[in-house]
Amino acid sequence: MIEVYNTLTRQKEKLEPGQPGRVSMYVCGPTTYNYIHLGNARPLVVFDTVRRYLLYKGYKVTYIQNFTDVDDKIIKRAGEEGEEPLDLAQRYINEYFTDADALHVMRADKHPKVSEHITEIIELIQKLIADGYAYNVDGDVFFEVRKFPGYGKLSGRSLDEMQAGARVEVNEIKRDPMDFALWKKAKPGEPSWPSPWGDGRPGWHIECSAMALKYLGSGFDIHGGGYDLIFPHHENEIAQSEAAAKKPFARYWMHNGFITVNKEKMSKSLGNFFLVREILDKFPGEVVRFYLLSTHYRSPLDFDDEKLAASQRGLERLKNSYARLSEALAGTGADDGAAGEEERQFALKLDQLKESFEAAMDDDFNTALAIAVWFDLAKEINVYLNKFSPGGPGASPELLKQAEKLFAVFNRVLGVFKEDPSTGRVVLNENEDSGNNDLVDKLIELIVDIRQQARKKKDWDTADAIRDGLKELGITLQDTPQGVKWKK
């Protein structure tokens, strides 16, 4: 049984999809006026992981993530760069996929764009006007919040409370300061579309309502996004959608916590943001993803290079264990396969670990705990493998395969390492450049050979000098029982 923390009810609830065996999800995607930053990346990775776990549990998942390609910030940026707003938005949509791919975020079933859903948006607004929830003031259309009784139910505040704060800009043409724009009258030089109220473009909130209703219908299962979207964005989505459809919009609202820098929210206005691709210059995507999942999704996550580096070292541990496993598996030829006490223990552990992993994920997608279970798996693999010395009796290939499979399952759910689609096996080093630089490789091997000759003669001074010298060039040598391993 999966439990989900629902922002709407402020508690964990049993996940019961509207249609048995199917889960529909809508996640608010980025406004594409720049490369995405780490704060944008968190919901992508978090909800991608939710999706992956639901798939693992056998649900058919319909996953929609929009792009906001019509927006004030896009228009502003386009003006600065002398580019058409829609072209600029499309450019960053393409760039988005580069980053998302690096983080192993699966493609949504549909990535709808605002600019391609103007018709649906207009129809929705028309309905809201017809039903008395919205009004047109000379080409600007607003949603009248006082007409929607449930306004404030998601963010947990009342209209009166919000106005007590009274930091809302005064806008004479609105009936209530909290009313928000559904349709904005066109200004010269801005992208606009014809509508019954004159040329203009959609307000921010209406797009998500229109697209979610179109692709998932009202009463779909999970709506996700960042914590800061609760108000006003999601509050307004609920108001519009439920006013129009006369029934609940989304059943479970999930919100991820912020990425912080020195404990302060990472945001564009504070200027303390880090672009995903800047980070990817220093760390592989799998490390970034692993780091993003190392904390529960609702908690804040503080970012700095040190923490990523710590994650990277932790990930090495997982990789090593899997590499050892693969090596052992390749080496186990003729084995008695006798199921001794060691084997029974190990088999039992594997079962327990699988259960623990699922229990962690069932509990509101507790990836931090799930990762701990993953480390436990690595340890159990190591402990089991340590019982066998090279040349002696081998480990059980059956169990090793089972362990490998479990590792791959954990990996598939968390999406950390790439997977070989044909074998289902984990790919540990997707970014390693293979094959090129033949000459350099050959030179290194020549040097290594010479060093080996020195070592044979116990000429340690020469051997160490070569090792130190190569190290300074960024090449590390390891003398192992299987021979010398080197790494650039």
Partner RNA sequence: GGCGACGUAGCCAAGUGGCUAAGGCGGAGGACUGCAAAUCCUUUAUUCCCCGGUUCGAAUCCGGGCGUCGCCUCCA
Which of residues 17 and 417 has its CB atom nearest to RNA in the complex? 417
Binding part of the chain for RNA, among 13-21, 184-192, 250-258, 337-345 by CB under 7 A, reads 250-258
The Cα–Cα gap between 15 and 5 comes to: 9
The minimum distance between CB 422 and RNA, in angstroms, equals 28
- Site for RNA (CB under 7 A): which residue of 161, 278, 355, 449? 161
Tell me if 215 sits within 8 A of 64, measured CB to CB: yes
Show contacts with RNA in window 215-234 (CB under 7 A). 225-233
Tell me: does residue 171 bind RNA (CB under 7 A). no
Residue 357 binds to RNA (criterion: CB under 7 A): no
Nearest to 342 by CA among 394, 377, 405: 394
| Rounded Cα–Cα distance for residues 200 and 195 (Å) | 7
Choose which of 14, 94, 164, 439 interacts with RNA (CB under 7 A).
164
d(CA 185, CA 142): 11
Between CA 199 and CA 206, with CA 202 as vertex, the angle to 5 degrees is 150
Per-position x/- string for 323-342, each x denoting binding to RNA as judged by CB under 7 A, each - no binding: -x------------------
Residues 397-426 that bind RNA (CB under 7 A): none
User: What is the closest distance, in whole angstroms, from the C-beta atom of residue 78 to RNA in the complex?
Assistant: 15
- Shortest CA distance to 43 belongs to which of 20, 23, 59, 63? 63
| 3-class DSSP string for 70-134 | CCHHHHHHHHHHCCCHHHHHHHHHHHHHHHHHHCCCCCCCECCEHHHCHHHHHHHHHHHHHCCCE
DSSP 307-363: HHHHHHHHHHHHHHHHHHHHHHHHH--S------HHHHHHHHHHHHHHHHHHHHHHB
CA–CA gap between residue 408 and residue 426 (Å, rounded): 6
Contact between 159 and RNA (CB under 7 A)?
no
Q: How far is the CB of 96 from RNA (least distance, A)?
A: 11
Distances from the Cα of 193 to the Cαs of 84, 206, 240, in angstroms? 15, 15, 21
Q: Name the one range near RNA by CB under 7 A: 1-9, 193-201, 361-369, 432-440.
A: 361-369
Residue 271 binding RNA, by CB under 7 A: no
Stretch that binds RNA, among 103-111, 136-144, 152-160, 191-199 (CB under 7 A): 152-160
Q: Minimum distance between the CB of residue 298 and RNA, rounded to whole angstroms? A: 8
How far is 453 from 472, CA to CA, in rounded Å?
21
**For residues 356 and 379, is the Cβ–Cβ distance under 8 A?**
no
Residue 66 as a binder of RNA (CB under 7 A): the answer is no
Does 31 engage in binding with RNA (CB under 7 A)? Answer: yes
Binding mask 99-138 for RNA (x = CB under 7 A): ----------------------------------------
| Minimal distance, residue 359 CB to RNA, in Å | 10
- Give residues 33-52 in contact with RNA (rule: CB under 7 A): 39-40, 42-43
DSSP 236-248: HHHHHHHHHHSS-
Q: Which of residues 443-472 bind RNA (CB under 7 A)?
A: 455, 460, 463-464, 467
| Residue 474 binds RNA (CB under 7 A) | no
Residue 151, Cα to own-chain centre: how many angstroms?
A: 30
Which residue's CB is nearer to RNA, number 17 or number 51? 51
Stretch that binds RNA, among 109-117, 146-154, 347-355, 473-481 (CB under 7 A): 473-481
Alpha carbons 321 and 481: distance in angstroms, whole number = 18
Residue ranges of alpha helices (H) inside 150-284 are 159-165, 204-215, 235-245, 276-282
Q: From the list 263, 330, 334, 483, which residue makes contact with RNA (rule: CB under 7 A)?
A: 263
Judged by CB under 7 A, the residue of 49, 66, 256, 396 near RNA is: 256
Residue 394 is a binding residue for RNA (CB under 7 A): no
If you count them, how many residues does the chain have? 488
**Of the candidate residues 186, 329, 368, 444, the single one contacting RNA (CB under 7 A):** 368
Q: What is the distance, to the nearest Å, from the Cα of residue 189 to the centroid of all Cα atoms in its chain? A: 36
Which residues sit opposite 264 in a β-bridge?
261
> Residue 138 gets which letter from DSSP?
T
Q: Which is nearer to RNA, 17 or 211 (CB)?
A: 211
Shortest Å, Cβ 70 to RNA:
12
Site string for RNA, 274-313 (x = CB under 7 A): --------------------xxx--xxxx---xx-xxx-x
Question: How many other C-beta atoms are found inside a 10 Å radius of the C-beta of residue 335?
Answer: 15
Which residue, 133 or 180, has its beta carbon nearer to RNA?
180
Report the residue from 106, 137, 186, 369 that binds RNA according to the rule CB under 7 A: 369
Segment lying near RNA (by CB under 7 A), choices 13-21, 94-102, 428-436, 479-487:
479-487
The only residue of 386, 422, 423, 482 in contact with RNA, by rule CB under 7 A: 386
Q: Does residue 480 bind RNA (CB under 7 A)?
A: yes
Q: Which is nearer to RNA, 125 or 259 (CB)?
A: 259
Measured CA to CA in angstroms, residue 174 lies from 96, 168, 180, 391, 414 at distances of: 36, 12, 8, 82, 47
